[in-house]
Amino acid sequence: MTDTGFEPYDTPPPPPVARKRRLRTGALAGTAAAVALAAGLGLGHVAWTTGSPSVAASGASSSTSTGSGSTSTGSGSTEVSSIAAKVDPGLVDINTTLGYAGEQAAGTGIVLTSSGEILTNNHVIDGATAISVTDVGNGKTYSAAVVGYDTTKDVAVLQLHDASGLQTASIATSTVSVGETVVGIGNAGGTGGTPSAAAGTVTALGQSITASDAGDGSAEQLAGLIETNADIQAGDSGGSLVNSAGQVVGMDTAASAGFSFQSDGQSSGYQAYAIPIDEAITLAKEIEAGSSSSTVHIGTTAFLGVELDAAADGYGNVSGGATVAGVITGSPAQEAGLAAGDVITSVDGNAVDGAQALTSALEPYKPGDTITIGWTDASGVTHTATVALSSGPPQ
């Protein structure tokens, strides 16, 4: 299965800064043509620049999925098809436009309410300037707004516009156990249509992984995950990991096919990971209630409009600040006079020592807030300017 990564948002929260990055790709998280995941478990969606999506092949496993509408091959395929038929109507395909990156991507989402509240991974919508969602149950396509997200837990909630009568997912009331049969279901490869399904077993619980992105130098630490050998692929991110009764036990989030990563487990061979559904829904309820925190972002995202060169500062302090690789036309950064080659050194008088520090410094602000940016240009001259942040894509 695959997470395809279109990242279109109807009214997506823009990121504090638009990072110059490659989209993250990985077996479960997503497949992409212009995106490469360097050391780390894949936490991306399927992404491509133009034309048809290019789907990355997943690693071998006890069962395989072969694209839209496929089910696991081998023994038990009829049973898998029966389980998938129960689950499919409670899923959506998420297509996003990554406007600043000139790409599109796609993933999967789980329907929580009949009025269109959707649970998905944060990385499925990361960087989206437009989002459209197609409900598998009724075949209709809706625009979507980002309600909120938690980058540290890789959870996001969307709200479809003018949706009603949607079929919701059946959520398990008990946890899974090691050795239990599970099926991963989602928009593998971002091809849309009937979701793909792949069967496997739960191989471990409470697992921790580190997923990193060579494109922007960032890394995510995820803990408490369900590990399975089901063949979860790019585009499946945000999809359902279900038990034999078709009840959702986890949200597909990452997989190892074709990529290296670090985990705390001792398993070998194919590995995929899902966030336990009770944890994901608890966080979704907090987001829906508007409970922001140091990790939970509610609503639209404040946007400065610079692309950061993570390679230049290593997401650290090599350059003494955040190196600007480019400036978005019409953005607050352009209006302030920032240009490629400048190094941003402070926000409201507080020093920043790299791209990640700048992103963190901007996180508390909302669109319309005024901040003072300090930077040094290519000639070594220092500058300050006061800018009003605009609204941009989620990060």
- Here the tokens at position 22 are 């490659």
Q: CA triplet 15, 18, 20: central angle to 5 degrees?
A: 145
Q: What is the dihedral of CA 121, 6, 143, 169, to 10 degrees?
A: -40
Asked if 227 and 265 count as a contact pair (C-beta separation under 8 A), the reply is yes
**Long-range own/partner contacts, residues 219-224 (CB < 8 A, 24 or more apart):** 219/40, 220/43, 220/151, 220/152, 220/154, 221/152, 222/153, 222/154, 222/253, 222/254, 222/273, 222/275, 224/275, 224/276, 224/279
DSSP of 175-223: ---TT-EEEEEE-GGG--SSPEEEEEEEEEEEEEEEEE-TTT--EEEEE
Residue at token pair 């059946």: 170
The answer to whether the CB of 157 falls within 8 A of the CB of 284 is: yes
Give CA–CA dist 132/145, Å, rounded: 9
Residues annotated as part of the active site: 123, 154, 237
- Residue 352, classed as helix, strand or coil, is coil
Q: How far apart are CA 16 and CA 20, in angstroms?
A: 13
Distance CA 168, CA 111 (A): 5
* Strands annotated E in 72-179: 91-98, 103-111, 117-120, 130-135, 141-150, 155-160
Q: Identify the bridge partners of residue 242 per DSSP, sorted by sequence position.
A: 183, 248
